[in-house]
Structure 1
Amino acid sequence: MVRRLRYFLYRLYERFYEWRLGIFSDTEIFLDTYGVTDAACHQYIATSYIRFRQLMKLIDIRPGEDVFLDFGSGMGRAVVLAATYPFRKIIGVELIPELNERAVKNVQRALPRLRCRDIELHNVDARSFRVPPEVTVIYFWNPFSKHVLADVFGNIRQSVIESPRTVTIIFLSPPGVTSVDEIKDGLPWLAERRRFDLGPKSVAVIYTCEGDERKVRS
């Protein structure tokens, strides 16, 4: 009974924020619905409003300076949520055209309510996306297999080498061993800063990627 009540309140909270922002993103989608059968891509599950707000409390956002990038941005919920914070710019990267089109519509509907209105949505394979030198915060909600993730992390590292800076990476995943854990030995430049449970269905890990290797080892 208590569990059902908690779930009901959780769903009510999620629906309230959908209504408040004027968007539609509250669904789960198996990608084969859109003809994507590549096992390297995981199903679309919208970021929880509650979880996202918890995560934002754990990082120091520099108003008007930090740029947020969401890999696997889907219908744009995390993009819209990030834009309610004082980021300078928000970028979303999504492989599936239909999901990206919905994200564009969601951003358009939510725009009057957002603090950050400089938003870019890219319909492209994450492996071929060149991480802009301005990006300082990167968000993942377990969108890829470890093989795709390794390529994407390699692109992040290349961006930091070319434009030295500190990049904060937020990785949200189901409990247990994450995709990052599986490839961590090949990422000596990636420093895990914090790991914590967000309820029974997800775990969050905060990493940093430094332009200065000495900071990674500290």
Structure 2
Amino acid sequence: MNLVLFDLDNTLLAGDSDFAWAQFLIGKGVLDREVQEAKNILFYEQYKAGTLDIFEFLDFQLAPLARHPRAELDAWHREFMERSVRPMITAKARALVQEHLDSDALIAVVTATNAFVTGPIVREFGIPHLVATIPAQEGGAFTGKPRGLPAFKAGKIERVDAWLESLGLHLGSFDRSWFYSDSHNDLPLMQRVSNPVAVDPDDTLRTHAQAQGWPVISLR
């Protein structure tokens, strides 16, 4: 059996769903443009630079979920999928996912972006498993805080290990394992699999991939 893991933002998507969701809410007037857009851009730049404080970011990103009822959030997300997400899904990305689905591998998306935003996107690809940052809930309503360890940097390893353990598996259970990512933030998990693949990588990841002889591909 083989294991295939995909990062989502700027890997399977030709864009960042986390950033796009905040911009979508700004565009609808749910978030204040003058204050929140500058914060959203700053956090995105920090992520790309590898300096992001994930908990500070999650305070920003999860807060709107706690201020609105789930039915309203779900309606907004359906609009978000149509307007923002589907245009970021390329034919090459769909084809790569389908190739691995047809191989009967165990497949998951592993992403720091929270599960409310990413769940419908992962289902759009037909991928059966999602390892993501989990928004905490109480009484069916979001609290605005994460539950457990965010799936970010080395946290992705812990979250993947816990997910596999829940299935009675571990990374050593597989003949081959892949992780596709665009970001140097994902180097900890990429170094744990047998087949790391850099996808439209940032400069740091590209340099590392070339030095290690990892494949570098584009899904754009």
TM-score (norm 1): 0.41
Q: Select the structure with the greater relative contact order (CA < 8 A; seq sep ≥ 6).
A: 2
Structure showing the higher helix proportion among its residues: 2
